[in-house]
């Protein structure tokens, strides 16, 4: 079965506060994009990688990740994933992985692919939530305390049969979602979970980047 990983890297990374798209920011000398793509290949669980980047950075991306296929992403993350899916031709299994998770360990990528090979049509890596989570109203007052035991923080790569992911995207042509499994859920599909890893943390803010710098030094 051919496993193709899509790496959406077309975001502007506004919340990071640097002057370039997040995937092209470097962590200990290597861009998040290179780290994410190299990590997927190094896992041994992935046959091909398709990267989606802003139109003006296609050539830069090709130079950074020569083993990957590079295509132009879209305005929203879902548009970028759509563009990647269109380029994922003969995939049987599709992983969708954020360039913003450059330290994702190979064994976690394996767990996702193994769950698909064992028959899941959609699978996400998750971790328990450490903080207590509350729902607030529009004015900021607490409306409810959510039972933490039932909550999980979701990471990537998320894995799908190509058929399930294409069907979910076809069923929601104009919708955007913060994660791809959300579209599968909306289409009525079952999403399985495997254990995530703290190293698969997502870099969103300058604070996250500082934490990742320390971790990257420890996990060269």
Using alpha carbons, select from 196, 173, 185 the residue that is nearest to residue 97. 196
Q: How far apart are the first and last CA of the chain?
A: 31
Q: Where are the alpha helices (DSSP H) in the chain?
A: 32-43, 58-64, 77-86, 106-117, 162-171, 180-186, 206-218
* Among positions 31, 80, 121, 158, the unique one binding ligand C5P when judged by CB under 6 A: 80
The DSSP 8-state label assigned to residue 3 in this structure reads E
Which DSSP category does 23 fall into? Answer: G
Q: Which stretch binds ligand C5P (CB under 6 A): 9-17, 39-47, 60-68, 136-144?
A: 9-17
Q: Which span (4-12, 138-146, 164-172, 207-215) binds ligand C5P, by CB under 6 A?
A: 4-12
Tell me, residue by residue from 109 to 138, as one string, x for binding to ligand C5P by CB under 6 A and - for no binding: ------------------------------
Among 39-47, 98-106, 140-148, 167-175, which window interacts with ligand C5P (CB under 6 A)? 98-106
Nearer to ligand C5P, 54 or 189 (CB): 54
Shortest CA distance to 193 belongs to which of 164, 161, 148, 155?
Answer: 155
Tell me if 10 contacts ligand C5P by CB under 6 A.
yes
Candidate ranges 97-105, 131-139, 146-154, 205-213; the one touching ligand C5P (CB under 6 A): 97-105
Do 57 and 78 meet the contact criterion of CB atoms below 8 Å apart?
no
182 binds ligand C5P (CB under 6 A): no
Which of 72, 114 has the CB closer to ligand C5P?
72
Backbone angles phi, psi at 192, to 5 degrees: -90, 165
**Range 46-65, binding ligand C5P (CB under 6 A):** 52
Interface residue with ligand C5P among 76, 92, 185, 197 (CB under 6 A) is: 76
Take residue 99 and report the two structure tokens written for it.
């360039």
Token pair for residue 215? Answer: 């971790």
| Interface residue with ligand C5P, options 29, 56, 66, 75 (CB under 6 A) | 75
Q: How far apart are CA 27 and CA 92, in angstroms?
A: 32
Residues 6 or more apart in contact with residue 210 via CB below 8 angstroms: none
Q: Bridge-partner residues for 160, per DSSP? A: 94, 122
The residues that touch ligand C5P, with contacts defined as CB under 6 A, are 8-11, 22-23, 52, 73-77, 80, 98-100, 204
């Amino acid at each position: 079965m051919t496993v193709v990983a899509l790496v959406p890297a077309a975001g502007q990374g506004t919340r990071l506060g640097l002057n370039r798209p997040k995937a092209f920011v470097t962590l200990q000398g290597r861009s998040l994009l290179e780290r994410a793509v190299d990590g997927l290949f190094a896992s041994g669980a992935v046959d091909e990688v398709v990267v989606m980047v802003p139109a003006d950075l296609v050539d830069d991306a090709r130079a950074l990740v020569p083993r990957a296929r590079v295509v132009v992403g879209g305005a929203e993350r879902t548009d970028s994933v759509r563009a990647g899916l269109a380029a994922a031709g003969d995939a049987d299994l599709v992983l969708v992985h954020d360039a913003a998770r450059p330290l994702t360990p190979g064994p976690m990528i394996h767990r996702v692919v193994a769950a698909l090979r064992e028959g899941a049509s959609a699978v996400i890596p998750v971790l328990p939530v450490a903080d207590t989570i509350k729902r607030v109203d529009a004015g900021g007052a607490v409306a409810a305390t959510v039972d933490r035991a039932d909550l999980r923080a979701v990471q990537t790569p998320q894995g799908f049969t190509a058929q399930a992911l294409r069907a979910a995207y076809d069923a929601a042509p104009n919708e955007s979602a913060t994660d791809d499994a959300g579209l599968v859920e909306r289409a009525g599909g079952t999403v399985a979970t495997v254990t995530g890893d703290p190293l698969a943390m997502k870099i969103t803010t300058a604070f996250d980047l500082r934490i990742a710098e320390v971790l990257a030094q420890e996990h060269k």
